[in-house]
Amino acid sequence: MLGGAAPAPWREDGENCTYSDECLSWNCLLPQGTDFAGAGPANGMCSRDCTEYLLGNLSESPCSPSSTCVSVSSDPAKPQAWCLARCAPGSSDSTKCFGRLDIACVPQSSGGVCMPVCATDNDCSPGVCDPASGLCLPQGTVLSGAPDGSACDPSADPDTCVGVCRPNTPTEGTCTRPCVVGRLDACGGNPDKCSGSMPDAAQGDLGVCSPL
């Protein structure tokens, strides 16, 4: 190459991004977007739309070998799936989910996938971090509901928590939110409150904010 620095390598599914031309997929999901379950991932994320593969309209997955097609929609009438990086829950590998602590390694039936989980509004600038989904909502969104640690009814619809109601019994629960194990500003700056969602959870795994 004559003159100038070599271009930075294109980024894989799950790596952070600001522009689509940074990604191998040529697609950067932004925090202020609505393409990921109606919201956006913290600090941007390279990915590929694999909805047509999920629906059986494609014979081969568009995902890279290091990622897998995951449904992110809870509405059967509006299917949506994206390629998410694979990971090993419980692994202490510092490169898990590219070492990002705004993405959690979430256990699946086989292995795990790297799912966006914001901790503060800074992850979503200029938007708002949704403590229920861990995704970014549009700027100006007003959140309501009982704060973390409040008693709640897990059968209530809609959920009465600003985050989510974690059941303790069929009729009693505690308001909480998802977090990433090892993130220092998790759970309102109380990282010790972020307990793993499985017994052998390690840094980078999905957790929930729990009372100390």
Contact 193, 181 (CB under 8 A): no
Q: How far apart are CA 201 and CA 87, in angstroms?
A: 13
Q: Residue 102: name the closest of 88, 85, 84, 120 by CA.
A: 120
Q: How far apart are CA 4 and CA 103, in angstroms?
A: 33
Q: How far apart are CA 107 and CA 110, in angstroms?
A: 8
Domain boundaries, the chain: 20-143+177-209
pLDDT bracket for residue 5 (50, 70, 90): very low
Q: How far apart are CA 69 and CA 71, in angstroms?
A: 7
Q: DSSP labels for 143-160?
A: P-SBPTT-EE-TT-SS--
Q: What is the mean pLDDT of residues 200-205?
A: 94
pLDDT bracket for residue 158 (50, 70, 90): very high
- Give residue-wise pLDDT tens across range 7-62: 567 899 999 999 999 999 999 999 999 999 999 999 999 999 999 999 999 999 99
pLDDT (0 to 100) of residue 7: 53
- Give residue-wise pLDDT tens across range 189-198: 998 999 988 8
Number of C-beta neighbours around residue 20 at 10 A: 14
- Give residue-wise pLDDT tens across range 84-129: 999 999 999 999 999 999 999 999 988 899 999 999 999 999 999 9
Q: How far apart are CA 89 and CA 113, in angstroms?
A: 9
Instruction: Determine the 3-state secondary structure of 99 from DSSP.
Output: helix
pLDDT (0 to 100) of residue 6: 45
